[in-house]
Structures are given as structure tokens and as C-alpha cells.
Amino acid sequence: MKRNQSKNKAVLFLVATAIVVLAIYLVFKFDKQLLDLLSSRMAGLSFNPKTIIGVLQLILFATLAYLIVRALNTAVFGLVRLRRDFEAPTLVRNIFSIIAFTALFFIIFTQIFPDVNLGALFTTSAIFGVILGLALQDTLGNFFAGISLQADRPFQVGDVITVGSQQNTGVVEEITWRAVKIRTFQNHVVLISNSTAAKEPIEVGPRDNLNARLVFFNTLYTDSPAKTIHVVREAVREADNVSQKIAPVVRIRNLGESAVEYEVKYWLDDYAKYNDTDALVRQRIWYAFRRNDLSFAYPTRTLLVARRPKTSGGDAAPIVERLAAVDIFAPLSTEETTMLAQAATSHVFAPGETVIRAGDPGSSMFVVHNGRVAVQLNENGRPRTVATLSEGAFFGEMALFTGEPRTASIVALEETEVLEIGHQAMKLVFDANPDLVESLSHIITERLQALAASEDQGATDSDESAGLLSAIKRFFGLS
């Protein structure tokens, strides 16, 4: 599309140049005939036919000069773009054209009318000066403010700026000789005249800078600040577009009337997307609060709100049903499954959140109650999914049963509710069902083999299952 446009422009330029050159040629070739014609037609009038022909020549040459300046402009700034990979601002290009054209016009004028002193004409014509000054007052103001903006460069194309009392905020798209063009976050274009931009205070978020944002939230006075700060920092640091270069800072900004008021300060990779990132940060805080039993403060309701029971919804029946359907718990009696369900804690994760991080220590296992998770290995700093687990599947058993660090990371693929079962509850289950250890050790061996295969380490040997069995027994103090 752009290529086609440039082609059309080039053709148009060549045609226009050819027409003007032809017109100049004709005027020079037939100047005698033209002079005679004008003399006969204008007999009796006070006009000098020579002046008319001069003006005609001036117009034609000035048009040619304009075309030449356009071509020069394209060539010079095209070359700069190619060589330096730098797009010159529109204002600079326009100034170049104006100066080049004025110079050419002076030369042409003095060649055609050598007797007229153009400089004196301009300087001595006071009326001309006053008219021009009044008519161009705003335009010239914008023009010179534009020059000072270009020289000073307080912001550039791509930066996010907020201008003046109107608080116009958007991404700078262009700085012309008249105005600064910004695209707001509602995708509107706002033009701020250069003289306004030069006068008003401007807040700039440079594109190539690590810019920060503040997001506010609050908690009940009963929630621990240390826990809140840790939970929010961890929830925010992994959100999209939050820079990994600086860890987010969470701090108490006020001990308010009915809430502890916090702010989280985070840095963005792409500042122009701060609206989306602010929203994502708030969403992550909401989910982290829910998982960690923290509460937002609502002044009118604080005294009425009851703490949520640990298991989801307070009704254990769906959890008993879920656990009974997990293959490794199939041998358990209804009482044992109910006991396990009562010991289980429900957690909800947002899409993209990490449930378990590879290498961390772990002393609990999880059953997927709702949703889906991915089992991921780290490959040269990038996650690779080796398996996906959906409702009824379990994970985290390896670290729980062997005491080793987590072998893989588990990441929620959608909003996912997991049931966490701790070491103590599993020990009770094992005590009552020693056979369970054996079927679990088989599953762990199979998963370890799958991990080893995907890490290209070759399969683990068959003695491993037996080794695991005794390791688990030892870990749980079983005979």
C-alpha cells in the first residue's frame, strides 16, 4: 500500500515537472509573439506587457523551484533515514523546505526583475509587515514554539505525555509546525498547539525509560502487613508487562479510618499500556487476597463479614466427591475420604499464575478441583509444557512423598481451584492404608521417567520404583 502510494507520488511529480518545464520552454520560445500579442491587446492600458511576461516566468520558475525543493526534501531525508535509521521530524523537514524555497525564490526573482530591490520592498513596507504580523501571530507563535520543542526535545514520538490543566494524556504521534498530535487511550487524536505545549506543564513518560505506576488497595486492620506485602509483591511481579528488572514495592501509605491503606509501585516494560497493566495488577491482588485469606476493607460491612471457612463453600460434599474420584484415593473408606476432605484447603489461581515453582521445597500435594494446569520444565530460561492436568488429577506428590525439591513448575491455564493436602493428613491415610504407598511410588516413578525422557536424560532404571518405595516409607516413618 505504502509502496504503491510512493509510486503514484513519483509519477505525479514527474508529470508535473514535465508540464512546468514544457511551459517554461514555450514561454521562452514564443516570448516575442507573446509580447506582440499582449502589446496589441493591451494598447491603451497602463500595464507593461514585459512585466506580465516576467510575472508569468516568475510563477513558472517558482513552481519548478517548489517541485525541486520537494524532491530534494525527499532525497535528503530519505538518505538520512536509510543511513542513520532516523526519521526526521516533520517540523525539521518543513523548515528545510521553507528555507530552500525562499532562497530559490529570491534568486529567481532577482534574475527576472533585476531592477526591483526585493529586500527593500519587504523592509520598507510597514503596512505589509503589520498585516503579515497580525495575520500570522498565532501561526508564528506555534512555529517558533515548535522549533523550541524540537531543540529542547522534552519528549519524542512514542512517549506518553500528560499536558496542562486539561490533563490530556496519550502517546505522542507527531510534532508538526503547528501542533503536537497525541493519541489518547480512548484512541482519539488530540492536537495540542505548540504554543500551549510550550507554556503548560507536561508530564512525560519516555518510551525508553523504566516508568513506574502506583496502584492502591486496602485491607482490614486484622490482616498482617508483613503477609499482605509479601503476598501482593509475589502476585504482582509475574503479571504481564511488569518489568522483571526491578521488583515491585508494596508499602503502607496510610493507616486510614477503617482500613490499612497500601500502594504497590511497579515498573512497566511498555508504559503506553499502563491502563491494562494497572487492571491486571488489581486482578492479581484480588486473587492473591482470596487465596491467602486476606480481606479488602469495606467500611460499612466490616463488622458483618464472616471469615470464609477453609474449604470452598463450606460444604464438604463436593470435595469428598472429588477426592473419592481420584484414582490413588479409590481404596480409601468413606470416613477416610471425608477426613481427607476436611483436612484439605482450597485455593483459587488466576490464569497464568504459578501454583508450584520448580526447585522450591514442598510439603503438600494438590488435587485439581476445577480448571486446568500445565506441568512445565525450564528449558534455557523458557517454560516448556510436558503435561496438562485437568479436574480430578493430582500433582505435588513427589516433593511431599520424597522430601526432595519440586521437580517441575505448575501453572494455571485458566481460573483453577486446587485442593491442598498436607503431610500430616497423608500420614494418617498411609497409616490406615499401607498399600497406598506402593501404588503411589509407581505413579511417581512413571512421572519421573517422563520427566527424564523430556529432559533427554534417558529413562531411569527399574530399581528406582523400589528405591522410592523405601524412601517414602522412611519419610513418613512407616515400617
List interacting residues with ligand CMP (CB under 6 A): 356, 362, 375, 386-387, 395-399, 406-408, 410, 447, 450-451
Name the minimum Å distance from CB 395 to ligand CMP: 4
Q: Name the residue nearer to ligand CMP (CB basis): 284 or 447.
A: 447
Residue whose entry in the numeric block shows the C-alpha cell 503435561: 387
Name the minimum Å distance from CB 5 to ligand CMP: 55
Residue 463's alpha-carbon distances to 439, 441, 445, 466, in angstroms, are: 15, 12, 10, 5
* Structure-derived torsion over alpha carbons of residues 388, 433, 438, 422, reported in degrees to the nearest 10: 40
Name the minimum Å distance from CB 434 to ligand CMP: 21
Name the minimum Å distance from CB 373 to ligand CMP: 9
Residue 146's alpha-carbon distances to 18, 103, 160, 344, in angstroms, are: 36, 22, 18, 66
Name the minimum Å distance from CB 445 to ligand CMP: 11
Q: Name the residue nearer to ligand CMP (CB basis): 369 or 447.
A: 447
The CA distance from 93 to 79, in Å, is 13
Q: Name the residue nearer to ligand CMP (CB basis): 247 or 393.
A: 393
The CA distance from 274 to 170, in Å, is 11
Sign of the torsion angle spanned by Cα atoms 328, 331, 334, 335: negative
The residues pairing with 383 across neighbouring beta strands, listed in sequence order, are 378
Name the minimum Å distance from CB 406 to ligand CMP: 4
The CA distance from 70 to 67, in Å, is 5
Number of Cβ within 10 Å of residue 202's Cβ equals: 18
The CA distance from 299 to 303, in Å, is 8
Give the residue among 238, 250, 352 at the shortest CA–CA distance from 294. 250
* Ramachandran area for residue 396 (φ above 0: left; ψ -120 to 50: alpha; else beta): left
Q: Do the beta carbons of residue 180 and residue 198 sit within 8 Å?
A: no
Long-range contacts of 329-338 (CB under 8 A, 24+ apart): 329/429, 331/433, 331/435, 331/436, 331/439, 332/429, 332/432, 332/433, 332/436, 336/429, 336/432, 336/433
Name the minimum Å distance from CB 360 to ligand CMP: 9
Name the minimum Å distance from CB 466 to ligand CMP: 19
* Structure-derived torsion over alpha carbons of residues 83, 86, 90, 93, reported in degrees to the nearest 10: -30
Name the minimum Å distance from CB 402 to ligand CMP: 8
